[in-house]
Every structure is written in structure tokens, then in C-alpha cells.
Structure 1
Amino acid sequence: NETTSTGEERNRLSHWLLLFTFCEVGSGQVHYSVTEEAKHGTFVGRIAQDLGLEVGELVSRLFRVVSTNRRDYLEVNAQNGILFVNSRIDREELCDRNPVCGIHLEVIVDKPLQVFHVEVEIKDINDNPPTFSLREKNLFIPESRVLDSLFPLEGASDADIGVNSVLTYRLSPNDYFTLDMQINDEQIKPLGLVLKKLLDREETPELHLLLTATDGGKPELTGTVQLQITVLDANDNAPKFDKKIYKVKLAENSLNGTLVIKLTASDMDEGTNSQIIYSFARDVSSNVLSKFSIDQMNGDVRVIGQIDFEESKSYQIQVEATDKGIPKMVGHCTVLVEVMDTNDNVPEVAVKSLSLPVPEDSPTGTVIALISVSDKDSGTNGQVTCSLSPPGPFTLVSTFRNYYSLVLGSPVDRESVPVYELVVTARDGGSPTLWATASVSVAIADVNDNAPAFEQPSYTVFVKENNSPGSHIFTVSASDPDALENAIVSYSLVEKRVGERSLSSYVSVHSESGKVYALQPLDHEDLELLQFQVSVRDAGFPPLGSNVSLQVFVLDENDNAPAVLPPHSGVNPMAELVSQSVNVGHVVAKIRAVDADSGYNAWLSYELLPEVGVERRPFRVGLYTGEISTTRVLEELDGPRQRLLVLVKDHGEPPLSATATVSISLVDSGKALKASSGVSRSMASAGKVAAALDLNVYLIIAICSVSSLLVLSLLLYVVLRCSEPSQAVYGPGKPMLVCSSEVGSWSYSQQRRQKAFSGEGGAKSDLMAFSPNLPPCSGPADSVQQQAMGQDHSAKVGFRNSY
């Protein structure tokens, strides 16, 4: 027997689960059903499986269930994806007497964001017995009432719905009354007692009957009321209304005092027995009493409270007309008040879920937020449509009933618009239209989509030589329109070889500030132009970067004194033999000197130093040639030997100088001829050497010619495009003329210049690059530029061969 009982219980349990649980998937919605009063843990459905979700991914994808009800009646086990009952569900408490009762669930999963809608229907069970408004009802019935007289009774009510609320009545056995429960055209069951046997107050002054109401549920539930019937004597006719049932329509929000209906009853008696007093039935609900009133004398039913369609759509009012006879006689009617809806509720907008901030590289179609709208009104008044403003990259997409998704419709760029302030407007279909708004702030998250950039593709920098080690020579600056770490930039050198040394041995760049430093003193004579690149990278992932080129020109300073070349250098120079019969202007010697500097700093001039006691010398020296020639005919008074001191100085600021000593011996013509023949023999012996030197000189002249052209071209470019401040000049900028007062030099060369030198031996070539005398730098920049351009084109390069 125990085995059979256990099997039957299992079958009943399986049948029970199949009966109240079903699942339907379609149109993006899942339906389940469960009976009310189900125990905690009762299985409802495999929600994860029915929605097509992997049970193992529920936790990682932040699976959550949001209920539109205030209480969490249902819960989902995140380990197995099963939906079960979490707390007691009372259908009558949740949905009152609505025929359809359900709980709407929103299932939200992230990564990516998905929203599902689940409807759980709450099935009614017969858990509420019929109830009467009174435990005991007193009826006063005159003995003069005729057979088949009807005495209305207030029926019982059942909070359940459907079959569970269908009531049947039975009356305790008696000889006088039966129950009348016929259904009329208005689908209302008037319950009453029908007199089947004439009453006799003397025989039976009182009757005690039991009225039982039974519902249609399984199992059946019952309710009872005691009927205390007092038999009265006299007044034979009760007041009578024109209709048993009156139907009226009343607009919600009607003002207090609004007339609902004017009731009129008549009594066939005369005198006091025909005077009628109107009132609501004793068992009318408190809700009716708070909304309506009736005038006892004229039967006017008026509004005294707030009529709200959303609170109650109809009212059923039992009205009595009582005469003043003895005993009193009562007539009954029912007033059915249908409340008409008006558009008095503003739509409600709620943002359910937000996925913020939105990365600026998000693809179109990305769901940003879930928005729900609702309206308590009904019909057209409760139909809500949504719109989005201002127009932009976001759109609203209707997903399910009154739910909308805020979707990315076009690409966004944080550098253009970092935050979008959106307004969602919900409008109903009533007249006049009511609307509500909700603000949504959508922030755009930055991604590293912009490389840092310099203001210019290249920079030209001028630095004077002999700078102090570690001196700041320039600052590069790059900007990145991204944000946070994507906008943090760092600088570095693009390493390369400069001759036999690495670039990092000359310069360095600060990684944060972009300041470029010279690590060692720069020497114009060793390095005139340093070209390199600085790289900038941001801190994003992956990092982006760019490069900028720097041209650092090392400006010459007058740091090298002229050097006199042999044979006129040293303490004991070689003596020059000069015949006393030479003509005026005869060149007796030539001073050769070189200067390691360039430009004005290397432009040498010669002058003869005066000697104490000598008033008028027969010799002079060329200012720029260094040639010593006679100024008059030589005389015996001049003496046999002359010692000349020649000052060689450059044009730098301040000028540097050196001295050359020239020893001249005056001889007669015969000795000069012998010396000349001796010199000729010595020169003949050196002929081969001189021929080889001449070939080298010609090669040097050709190289110097090409170099000079390049020097002049670069000089013209520098004059037009650059200007030099006191310490360093940063370019490019507006072209300015380079003056001697500004840079301390008459010219500038970007190439290694050829050194001019002089001395004895074969034919030598002197390369001199002269610039015309320039006026002081003043006046408008344009005129200076034009003057500099004209003068640079007129500059000449001369080659002078001297022997």
C-alpha cells in the first residue's frame, strides 16, 4: 500500500507540474504559468535553456532578472538557470479580480547586452470562500405580502475568478420561502426570497433561516449568513422604482456635487404610508459611500469624492426607498455607474539599464540603454510613443510593447563631442496630449585613434659654437587630441651615426618636456650642421607616434687667431734679396696666413707696423693681399737691411691677430743677378715639386668653386628664412637679413669652407668669398629681405693665383 501511494503521489506531482507549467518561445518572449500560493522553490521553468543561453555563462555575462513588481516573487538559480518561486504569490492581492494576472520579468545579460521578456501567468486556485457582507441580516416582512413576493438579498462575494468564483446558493429547509436565482438580460443574478406561503404574524412572528453560498472550485468552499425574518403587520404596499436597474455613465474627475442620477419611486398607499425616504442599502460598500451621496427627500445621487477610472472602472449602488408606514415598507433598485476614462495621467519614462561610457569605436547598432514607458490611462489615452532629441548619432528602436532601446546609429568621435545630452519624450494619444521627458547623458569613452603631431614638420635651429655642456638649445612640442593616457606623450631621439660617433653623444631630448640639450660644446670648425629626428609617442595601446626633423646650424665665433705660414713665421724668417734698382710697386715678398674660422672671422687684413725712429719706409703691404711692394725708388740711405713687422688680423668681434716678420736685404744689381741665378737653380731643382703642387692647387680650386656655389646658395636661403637672436635662433620664421652686428660674422656657410693660406713654394690659390658692404639692419623686414636677396645674387667669388 505504501508503494502504491508513493507512485500515485509521483504521478500526481508530474501531472501537477505539467498542468501549471508550460513554456512558449516566439517573438522574443517566453511564457510560463504557475498557480498562486505555490511553495517556495516550486519549479517554474528552465529559463536559461528556453532563452537559448549557456548555463555556464550566466555568471560571467552578469545574468540578472528584473521584475516590474515591487516584490521578488520569482527567482532564478544562476547555477542551473531554473526559474522558481521565491515568495508567496497571492493572485487576489496581486491582480484583484482581473481575469488575466501575470508577472512581467525582464531578463538582462551583458557582454554583449541582451534583453528578454518573460511573462509568468498566475493561475487562480480556490483559496477564498464566499463571504457575505453581514453575518446576520434582518428582514422585516409584513404579513400582508402576497404570494410570490420577492425580497432581494445581498449575495456573497468571492475573491477568486472563473469557475472558482461561480456561486450557488441554498436555503435551509422551511415552509414559507424559496430562493430566486434566475439570470436576466443584464447578466446579473438577483438573489432574493420568494414567498410561497402566506405569513401569519400570530402563528409565526419570526423565522430563522440559514443562507449558504457555495463556489465552483475543487474542493468547494462555502459561506453563510443568518436571515432573521420578522413578520410585520399593516402597511401592505412597498415603494416601487420605475426600473430595477439603472445604468449611467460618469466621467472621471467629475467635480463634487455633480448629479449622477435622479431616482424616483412610487407607493400606492396613501398618507404617511406613501411618503418615501431614499437611502443606500445598509450593506453597500464603504468605497461607494466615500464617492457618492443620495438626497433622502428627492433621490438625487451626487458625487462627493474623487472619481478615478484607474482606481475603479464601475460602481454598483444598491438604493432603497422606504415609506413612513408602520411597519415600514422598502423598495429596491440597483444603479450601475460606468466611469469614463479621461486623459489625466502623464506618461512615465524610466531608464532601466545603461551601458556607459560608450567607446568611440563602438559599431553601429550597439545598444546603449533600455527605456520603458507606461501610462495609467486606457485605450488611446494610454497609447504612448517615444521620440529622441536632439538629432544625432543615437536612435530609439521599439523592441517590445512599451520598451525602447537606445541604439548607436552612426559613428561617434570623442574629440568632436565628448558627451551627448539626450532627451527622451513620451507622448500619449489623448486629447489634449500629455507628455513626459527623461534626460540621458551619454559619455563617449576615448580610444587611441589620434597620433601626436608636431606644429611643423621640421625646425631649423641656430646655436653658437662653444656652448656650455648640457645647455638647452630648443624645445619640441607635440599635441594629442585624445584623453587620459592616450594623450600622454613622450619624446626620444631617432638614433643615428654622426661621423664615427652616435647622435646621443651630441644631443639629448627630455622625454616629458621635449627640451633638446647639447651634451657637449659644439665646434663650428668640426661640425657645422647637425641633422636628426625627434620621435614622439603617446601612452595608448597600441601607441601612436610621429617624427619631426631638426636642423641645428652651429654658428661660428671668432675663437681662432690667424696663423702665418712659412717662410715668414717664426723668430728667424728667411731674408728676401731685393735689388736697389727695382721699380716702384715691385713686389718684394708676400705674407700668407690662414684662419680656422669662417666668414668675417676668417677675413684677414694686413698692415705694416710702424718702427720707432723710421719716418718713411720704402715699402707698403696690401691690405687684403699681403703683398709687400716698394712705394719709391730705393736709396743708399735706406740701409742694406730692412726688418718689417706685418700685423695680420681677422674681422671678428673682438678681432684676433698675429704678426709676421719680413727680413729684406738690399743688394746691387750684380749680386742680385747672381742671387737670382742661384735662386733660379734652386727653383729649377724644385720645378718638379712645383708642378705636382700646381696640379693639387687646380683640384683644390675646382673643389672650392663648387663649395663656394653651395655656400652662396645656403647663405641666400639662411638670409631669406632665418634670423639669429643673441644666443640661439629657432626657425623657420620670417626671412631676415643676417648682419655682422647680429652674428659677428660677414657670412655663413653650411659646408666646410676652404682655408686660405699663403707661403713660399709653387703657385698657390687663395679662395676668398666676399660679400658687399651691407647697411645696418633696420627698416621693414620686407625691404631688408629684398636688399639681402639682391646683394646675395651680386656676390662674387674670386680666385687669385699668386706666385
Structure 2
Amino acid sequence: MIQGEKTDYCSIWIVFVVHFTGTGGLDAIHLDISEATPKGERFSLSNAVDPDVGSNSKEIANTSMSMLFSINPENGNLYALKTFDYEIEKEFLFHIEARDSGSPPLSSNVTVHIIIVDQNDNAPVIVSPWRAHGSVVEEKIPRSTDKGSLVAKVIALDTDSVHNSRITYQFLQVTDATLFSLDQYNGEIRTMRMFTVDGGTPARSGTASVIVHVLDTNDNAPTFGKSVYNVQVLENSPIGSLVIDLNATDLDEGSNSDVTYSYSLYTSEKTQETFNLNPSTGEITIKDMLNYEDFRIYDMEVIATDKGANSLSGQCTIKIIVEDMNDNHPEISIKSFQTPVSESIEVDTVISVVSVSDKDSGDNGVVDLRIPDNMPFKLRESSDNYYELVVSEPLDREKVPEYVITFTVTDRGSPPLSDNETMTLELLDVNDNVPQFPRSFYTIRVMENNAPGDLLSSLTAFDPDLHENQYLVYFIIEKEIANTSMSMLFSINPENGNLYALKTFDYEIEKEFLFHIEARDSGSPPLSSNVTVHIIIVDQNDNAPVIVSPWRAHGSVVEEKIPRSTDKGSLVAKVIALDTDSVHNSRITYQFLQVTDATLFSLDQYNGEIRTMRMFSYRDPRHQRLVVVAKDNGEPALSATVTIKLSTVETAVKANSDMSEVSLEYDIFSDLNLYLVIGLGSVSFLLLITILVTIVLKCQKPKASLTAPPCRNSVISERNSTIADSTLVSNDAYWYSLFLAETRKGKLVVRQPAPKGSRYIVSSIPRGTGLTDTSGSAPSTLQVGENMTPTFLKSCFK
């Protein structure tokens, strides 16, 4: 029941679409619902369709069964208000009305027929035979019950529907399945335990045990396994030896199955004197010595009698045959045996001579000699009863270091007799195996800044030979890299193959090494093999970023002046930092550490450009303090900071709104700097030219002259590479960006190689040292020479 509505509603979720048609029509919905449906389950009836709009649209209401279902008047969803039980309620029939709110109202009806589907939720209940205590029933039947007689009948009931209540009966456990049978449909049993299964899904079951007591009568005579036994006995069998163990069986029980054994009256006295019969066990043993030449065959009859009230008996015939015995063992004699032998011994070489003999005659005196199979040897008969042991396959001490050879001689008697002799053949080692490394290529990663003498790896080889043929010595195969021998960089322990570093490596100078290690045994002649070793120097974040722009003449504070009328988005300053670590560790990001007004300036974290976020107002202080930190991507991260003090000045000069928008082929100077350069440049021009010529002549190798177009600022180098923008692509790009930034302040940028030759020291000095400025400019060219000693930026003027 939904509160607040004029009509009771019920809901049911169905899997098909129901369409209400017309007014006054009546459609029927048939819906199957499992009795396992939980309370509150939602079922779907498709919403009734009304082409009208507004107040003429439909409403849905049910006319009955509001105690069982509720309905949502908006979408027609039905909800179960209770759980269902097929055994109590099997179906429901009610109506649902869809009515619009027009005037007059129009409606449509549908009949909902819900059928509760049975679930197999009731297990069979065994009602017969009656079990007063537990599930065990005892039944007694006479021993003489005829075949097919009913022992018991099990009846089980299941309250589920027809399909789920179809019951079948099965044995769950039976002592002897050959004694009883069970009808799977009517439950008639001839067993002691049964299992009943209904036909539901999932199947459910009930169990009952029936104990049947059978009263025995002495109606079975003892029987032997055979009616005639033929037994062969050796002539020298000792007294007391067992000849045969007779075992008569009686199917009766108790005293009716107890059996005693005795000789028949027809058994001869000779037989009874020679053999003894145990009356309790039926064992026949030798009582007197046997002689094949005196008496070869003994016949006897044995009777087995039970101890029942009316004793019954059975009998069997036994024929004992005395056989001549092969009572002499063959003999074997090792005449010669060569050990040890070299593993390189040739095939067909004789290593032993063996003789055999047997004192018996006939087949008992014929002997055969053999050795174990799957050995690299064979026997070759040389003369009567003499054999040679020869090598049949190549020998390998590394696979089998020694052979235990057993010579077995067997006669052809019945039963055959045999003898054996065991010898051990030891193999001597030959240096026929080269040392073997586990891998053919080793990649070893070494962290830079390692301590000299650090163990890098253990390159141990294996040689399966023995003694001196196995003793290995390790060498570094000499190879020079940049006039440096590998033995000056690495050391290997000649005894165990431990590889050590002899120096501290610097990733920024040397990144990898490739050489070979040789392992050589001490055999004669010595054998060797080598392995390739690839040493990779792994970079550490051991170089902090160095801020090279803006130039800081004293300390880490830079003072800049910008017009107060600077537009929004104008470039105020560009921070450039360099990091000589590897690509990963040298990725630099820029952040404000301190800023006077965070709403006034923005900092690009990747290129270090500081721009205005808005125009200055009269409320903004004239002095702004910006602290920028440049942080690399290493672990842990290293950083450097620079403090920029900005002062705003009232000037009519228009500030460049975006330095990156001006072509890099032109220098950017303020009017003030231009005047200073013109004044100072004329004085120092000749001095600067003299210094440059002197340095180039002393420190640079002669090379073909490079013709360059007239330019204001250029750098002479060996690369002859031109950078056309200020993107931070490489060290050259950093250099160019620095050059561009510093020339704004009329400074000369100097780049010098570090002592190791692969790093640079970047410095900036005022242009007043000797530059002369003239009007006009040509495209700016940046060229970097890594091998130049100090390299300067020259200013060329028209």
C-alpha cells in the first residue's frame, strides 16, 4: 500500500512488454514467479501508453490483491509484499486498471495471472519402514528365504510438485551387493542400507539403514580350491619343509565352518611316514629325507570335515613329485682386470679376462656369463668358458666417473643357480672440456661515484674436468679505450673470477665499457673460453642545478626594472638552470618559493619564464620580490634558488609583451642599454678584437674558415649548428637562451670548458669591457665548440 494515494497500487516486474490498448479493453498477462522470490522483489509491467498529454494522461491502479502486491502508479512496477510457498498458494488472479485524468476519464484494464513455480525445497521423508529410534531398522529373515523374497520396503514422501517429488531409491552402502537387490522405483530392498533420491533440482535425499540377521544352518560341505594338486619337491629339501598348505573353505558360520584335516584310508603307509599333515591348518611338511632315486612320486588323499551337528566333508588328491636338484653352483674367476683406464681409451680394447665353470652335468652344467645392460662394454667369448671384456663405446669421465661391473654366471639347471663377481673400473681424466661460463654475455650496472675496489660481479666459469684440468685462471683481455687500458679500470681475481672496479666512475664522463674476460684451465694443452662483459655506469643525481640566467654578479639576488605600464602577459624575466646529470635526473622544473603578490606574476614550470598576470595598478608596491627555485628530477631532488627584485619605473618606453614573440634573429635592448653600449663599445672595440684573435690563435686548431653573415652576436664553434629559437632542447639551447637573456642587459656571455673537457662554466660580464654598438642587426647564430678553450660570444657590428 503506497501512502498518500487515492487508490491501492501493487507492482510486479515481468520480463516482457505489456501494452494497454484503447479504453475498456481487457488484455491478459501470464506471469510465472518462483516460490523462492524474496519479499520486496520488483517486477516490471511496461507502462500503459496514452497519446494524450497533461491531465488527460494515464494513471495506474490495481483493483485487487493489494495485500500481496503493490504497484507504482507512475511506471507500473510491481513489488511483492510477501514471500510465496507453492505448497500453500499456487496461483493468483487480479486486475490492473490504467486510467487517465481527463474529463470524462478513460481507462483500460488488464488481467494478471500469476503462477507460483515450485522449487525443490522439500527433502524426501522416509515414512516406511518405521524407525522408532534414529534411522536404523532391524529386520530378521530366515536363512532359507527364497530368491526374490522381499526383505523390506522403503517408502518416502516428497511434498514438492510432481516433477520435484519423483523419488528413486539407490544403495548408499551395501555389505555384499550380490546378496540383495533394490527396486529404484518402489523401494523394495534386499540390502542393509539405502539412499533415496528425488527428481528435483537440486536433488535431495533421505537415508535409512536395515540390519538383516541371517540364521546359519550347516548346509555347506568344506571344499578345496582344486580336486587334484600336483606338487614338485626337490630331493634334498630339509625335514620340516612345507610341501603344500591346504586350505578348505566352508560357507557356513560358527562351528559349522570349523574344518579338520586327515588322511584318507587309501593313503599308503610310505606316504604317511614321509609326510606330516597338520589336522588344524592343513599344512603338509616333510617328515623324512627324500631321495629321487628311491621314490619319485607320492600319492595321497586328504579329507576336510566340518564340526557341525551333522558334519559334512570334502576331499582332494595330492601328487608329490620328487625332482633331481641342481645342487652345484657355477663358479667365476677374474683372470685379469685393468683399472684405472684413461677416459680416452680406444673402442674394442680388452680390459678384463674372465673364466667360468660348473660341476653339474647336462643342462645343470651349462653356464652363461653376462654383465649389466646399458654399459659401454661387451663380453666376447675367446675359448671354451673364457670371456674377454672389451670397450664397446667411447668413455666420458665427466658423465660417468667409474663403472661398477658385475659379472653374473648362471647355469641352465632347473631351477638355475648363479654366482657373481663385482669389479670397479675407474676412469682417468683427460683435459677434453673447455671452461664454460653460465652466460655468454654479462651486463653489469655500476652506480657512479663508486668506491675504488668495489666488487662488481663474480664471473665464475665451470670446468667438468678434474685436478689441474679443472683449475681455472681468469684474465681481462686487454683493450684500450681512449688510450686507457681495461686493466687500469678493472681488476679480476685470477682464482675466483671476482671483478672489481679500480677507480671511481663518473657518468658525466664515461657511460659504458665493453670488454672480454677469459677463463683458462691448467691442463696440457690448456683450454679456454671467454665471455663478453658490458659495464653500464648508472647516473646518480649528484649534480645540483646551476642557475645561469638571469646573471647574478653578487650572491643570488638579481635586480630588474620594468615599466609600470607593462601589459598583461609580458615577459618579466627568464630563469634558466643547467644540470649535467643524465636526462632523467636533469629534467628541471621551476617554482615560486616566495612571491610578493601571487596575483601579479606567473611562472612557467618548464621553461622558467616569469610573466605578468595583469597590469600594474597604483595599489601595487613599486618593489616586488620573487624567489624562484629550480629543482631537478633526481631522487633525492637537488635544487638551486635565485632571488629577483623587481622595481617598476614610470617610462614611456613600451615593454615587449612577449620576448618569445620577437624573432631570435634580433637582439632586444632598452634605450638606456643602447646608449651605454654605443658609448662604451667605441672605446673597447679594438681591445676586444685583440683578445679574441690572441685566444683563437693559441687555443683552437687550424681549420677551414667559416663564412658567416654579418651579425651582432655570434659564437664560433666546430659544430656549426644554428639555434633558431629559445626552446630548451639541449645544452646549446640553454646556452642560446642565456645568451638572449643576458644581451638585454648589455652583458657579454662567456662559456668555458671545465677541466675534464665535457662540462661548461657559464659566466657573464658587462659589455662595457670593450663592445661597441651600432645600429642595425643581422640574424643571430649560435655555434658551440665542445673542445674549444675559452669560447666567447663576439659582437659584430656594421
- TM range, normalised to the smaller chain? 0.3 to 0.5
TM-score, normalised with respect to structure 1: 0.40
TM-score, normalised with respect to structure 2: 0.41
